[in-house]
């Protein structure tokens, strides 16, 4: 587990540097990438369904990225894009395309696995964005309501 965290931390760190992320975003994004990979591995071991692993890890990364973006007053993509790199299903997509060109019988299964992984990540991003925006509106409403009552 520690090895996975360290590898993911540095992968996210170098991705952040390559994408020219602001200096104050590089370290939080790197920790987020490391913890996201740990969550991915834990869920993969607990549940034998890869889409769920991608969903849970991406959901965690996106919610934490929303929080960090508000805290640091920066765009969410500064945290999300580098942090999600360690869990991208690149090998699955490569394998699917390789099987497709080699014309083996495993191509359709590999393509479905790759599509499900990407679909799980996309659903997590959309749902986490909706959830954080809804919570933000509720907090804003409650804050405004209490301010109006005190005046």
Domain ranges of the chain: 2-150
pLDDT in tens, 73-106: 999 999 999 999 999 988 888 888 888 888 888 8
Write a three-state SS string for the chain: CHHHHHHHHHHHHHHHHHCCCCHHHHHHHHHHHHHHHHHHHHHHHHCCCHHHHHHHHHHHHHHHHHHHHHHHCCCCHHHHHHHHHHHCCHHHHHHHHHHHHHCCCCHHHHHHHHHHHHHHHHHHHHHHHHHHHHHHHHHHHHHHHHHHHHC
Note the pTM of the prediction, 2 decimals.
0.87
């Amino acid at each position: 587990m520690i090895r996975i965290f360290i590898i993911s931390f540095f992968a996210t760190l170098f991705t952040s540097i390559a994408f020219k992320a602001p200096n104050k975003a590089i370290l939080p994004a790197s920790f987020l990438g490391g913890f996201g990979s740990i969550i991915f591995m834990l869920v993969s071991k607990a549940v034998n369904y890869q889409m769920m692993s991608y969903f849970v890890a991406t959901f965690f990364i996106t919610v934490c990225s929303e929080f960090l973006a508000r805290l640091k007053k920066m765009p969410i993509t500064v945290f999300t894009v580098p942090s999600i790199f360690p869990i991208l299903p690149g090998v699955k997509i490569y394998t699917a395309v390789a099987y497709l060109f080699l014309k083996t019988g495993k191509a359709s299964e590999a393509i479905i696995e790759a599509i499900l992984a990407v679909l799980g990540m996309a659903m997590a991003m959309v749902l986490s964005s909706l959830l954080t925006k809804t919570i933000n509106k509720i907090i804003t409403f409650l804050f405004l309501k209490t301010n109006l009552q005190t005046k």
